[in-house]
Every structure is written in structure tokens, then in C-alpha cells.
Structure 1
Amino acid sequence: MPDLLAEITQAAKAYYAQAAAFPLTPTDFQEWLESLPPARRAEALARGFVASQAEPHFLHFCLEWRGYNRREFMARHLSVAAFELWATHGGFDGDLPPHGLGR
């Protein structure tokens, strides 16, 4: 399983790295905030737009908004075993921290 976890982590990093191809905007941030439940929205607001630009959940929102489908990406970049593990566990990001990738 550690190899599968590393594989998932690497694929997740590659997925989020695609966000470097376009600017993240305050409008993106505002749209994302509106999609969050109140408690989560308050946390994101406290962190702010700049800090949120490295947050996987925000990057996922921005990528999906622009047509970068994570499920399709992961299916193309993971082995069958890793994809099954990823899909079975709700599309987790391996060992990536929840609040920062360091873009």
C-alpha cells in the first residue's frame, strides 16, 4: 500500500500543478467561498485568498471550473490498483497536506 499511496500523492501533485497554467483570481476565490459550508467558509476567509492559492480544495475547484476533470486525470495517471484505492476512498490526495501544496 505505501507504493500505491506514493503513486496517488504524485498524481495528485501533477493534477494540482496544472493550475499554474492560468491565473487564480479573486473571482475564483469568491465563487469557491460561496460553495463552502459556513464554518469552512469562515476558515478560508481567515486564511485569505493568497494562502488559499496553495490549498488543494481551492485548486480542485478552480481546475474543475475550467474543465480539468480530476477523476479522468487520475484514471489516466494511476495504475489500476492505485485508481481503485483512490476511488474507493473518496478521491483522497495521498499524503498531501490539506492546507498547502507550496506551488
Structure 2
Amino acid sequence: MPPKPLEPLAKKLMKGVIALELLGVFGAYSLFHMMNNSQDFRSTVNRRFPSVLEAVCNVHQMTRSKNQFLVLSPPSLLPVQRVGGGLRHPRE
């Protein structure tokens, strides 16, 4: 059975969408890496686009606080006490 006329176009469009997404991911990673490692680049971004630097700092702060909370009190490692016939979490 011969391929439908739109099938090659759909494949080309899908490849283009995937290529654009990969470029976006690598671009975001390179921007993050440059802002994380270069103070000069970070100050340039701060002068030109202060909202971008603020958003990156907020993400860093949220990630660090979440990781610190997980390191200090991981729920899977808390002791569980047996009370009567069931299990009871010590923080309850």
C-alpha cells in the first residue's frame, strides 16, 4: 500500500519539532551553566535582563531549600513505632 501524501510531511514536521526541542534544552542548559560559572556573564545578564537573573536565583533557592529539607529529614528513614495492632509514625 503506498504511503499517504501527508505522511512524509508529518515526519519532517515531527523531526523539526524534536530538533527545536533539543536545541531549546541544550540552550537552556548552556545558559544555566554560563550563569552558574561566570560572574561577568551573570552581571551582564543582570544589567540587561534583571528578571531572568531573579528567576534563576529563585529556582536555585527553592532547589537548595528542598534538597536541604530532604537531607535533614528524609521520610523513608524515620523510625516507625508499633502501637497496639498498627504502625504509628513518630510525628503523629
Task: Answer whether TM exceeds 0.5 for this pair.
Answer: no
Indicate the TM-score class for this superposition, using the shorter chain for normalisation. Answer: under 0.3
TM-score normalised per structure 2: 0.27
Question: Which of structures 1 and 2 has the larger relative contact order (alpha carbons within 8 angstroms, sep 6+)?
Answer: 1
Task: State the structure with more CA Rg.
Answer: 2
Larger strand proportion of the pair: 2
TM-score normalised per structure 1: 0.25
